[in-house]
Structure 1
């Protein structure tokens, strides 16, 4: 993602504007990478606010001599927010994504912005990484594309890699456990997309393309899972419709004497 704060001109998302004879599963390919900033800002309510919040949380929790991870970094919006707000000396930001198209563009975007913190953008599967000691981990609309049975093990590994007092920031589209509320939230989200210029055809085809690759949890399921892997402090700090962002703090024995 480009730096949304700078509101750069981006390509218009019209991937689903014409009827598709067959709806393929959604993937982060060249077509999506070309229009992703427009797609994400027109599809995710409050996206810029979430990215801004990631920067603010980085400013509070980044620690010297540690890594900061942006997992599923796509075009680097969260990476840049971390870079621009990181106060920690001798730290390194590592962005990882499994899409070649995203990684190639992300490197260009990140390199275009100055900052004292070095950044490495790596092509890879976040399930198969050797995570080093880190103080900030960001999963910005990433976990929802991971096989549900594998999510807890990944979060457990990240918890182990986090230094005491470190933070994990998890943004997700969620489903509500109350079916009537869930239906209303979906309708409100679709209205948001209509207000941003998407047609009924685009909304319908995009939903069909993504339903097999994005399996949602409820907010309570996310919070329960974070507690199970060790995070005693976890809270949703942002929510709009069925999109939310959570911070989860690893206990620090010097501050959390009750843990």
Structure 2
């Protein structure tokens, strides 16, 4: 695993964060050191996907990056045939996903699509996963995407959503941010790296409150909603149609 040093050197100008080849190369290390409980989230999502998947339907992974969830599903389904559409707009990520699939004997279960997730037509789906991706969309596109997900899910289908969130109380939000930065320091990131990445993500990653996510999901028509995991400013949610 290559170590993430994307923001290790002092920059005069901080450009907006992009999922380019440099990021793709170190993405596994970046995820483990930057996203609390990342492995646990994927493990439980894979189990939920296995439970809610209906034969003859499709799983959609919107913002699949380099395929950690997809590879996990191939093992979790343990020989059971399924169909998954994995979507990402970053070609460097999909190239790495393709290489990982090429050595897996069940690679035909997963189709890759290079596209913006808001342009994908969701249909005949029993499971839709959106991990740390909705937060990169313009606000007006988020409502439309969640509505599209609802429309494309079959009855009793599930949406699995993980996002970086903010707390509506400024004092609580500052506390959550403090503990998150401490988490990153404990994982070896310097103050410079933390600061420069924060600046690079400003206005690129725009988080929302848990209530805003819940309101959007309920407005789309989902029958039930739950926060099944929350670590300060990271929240994993699920909603059933």
What is the TM-score with the length of structure 1 in the denominator? 0.90
Conserved? CA contact 2:101–2:107, under 8 Å: no
Of residues 224-233 and 85-94 in structure 1, the stretch that sits farther from structure 2 once superposed is: 85-94
Residue in structure 2 matching 1:242, options 227, 233, 238: 233
Give 2:74's match in structure 1, choosing from 83, 93, 105. 83
CA displacement at 1:159 relative to structure 2: 0.5
Listed as ranges, the matches of 1:217-256 within 5 Å are 217-250=208-241
Pairing 1:189–2:176 present: no
Which residue does the alignment assign to 2:129? Answer: 138
User: If the length of structure 2 is used for normalisation, what is the TM-score?
Assistant: 0.96
After TM superposition, give the deviation of residue 114 of structure 1 in Å: 3.6
Q: Name 1:210's counterpart in structure 2.
A: 201
Query: RMSD over aligned Cα, in angstroms?
Result: 1.5
Matched, 1:23 2:31: no
Aligned equivalent of 1:256: none
Deviations 1:154-211 (A, max 9, x none): 1101101101011010000000011111000000000000000000000000000001
**Equivalent of 1:162, from 153, 161, 176?**
153
Q: Secondary structure at the match of 2:208?
A: coil
Deviations 1:103-151 (A, max 9, x none): 1001112333344871111111111122221100000111001111110
Q: Take 1:242 and 1:114, find their aligned partners in 2: how far apart are those partners?
A: 38
For the pair 1:54 / 2:64, whether they are aligned, the reply is no
Quote the Cα distance in structure 2 between the aligned partners of 1:22 and 1:230.
Answer: 44
Distance change in 2, residues 1:38/1:89 (3 Å)? closer
Where structure 2 has 5 or more consecutive residues not aligned to the other structure, the ranges are none
Q: Specify every segment of 5 or more residues in structure 1 that has no aligned partner in the other structure, as ranges.
A: 1-9, 251-259
**What secondary structure, in the 3-state scheme, does the structure 2 residue paired with 1:102 have?**
helix
- Report the Cα offset of residue 225 of structure 1: 0.7
Q: 2:7, 2:197 within 8 Å by CA — same for their partners in 1?
A: yes
Show the counterpart of 1:7: none
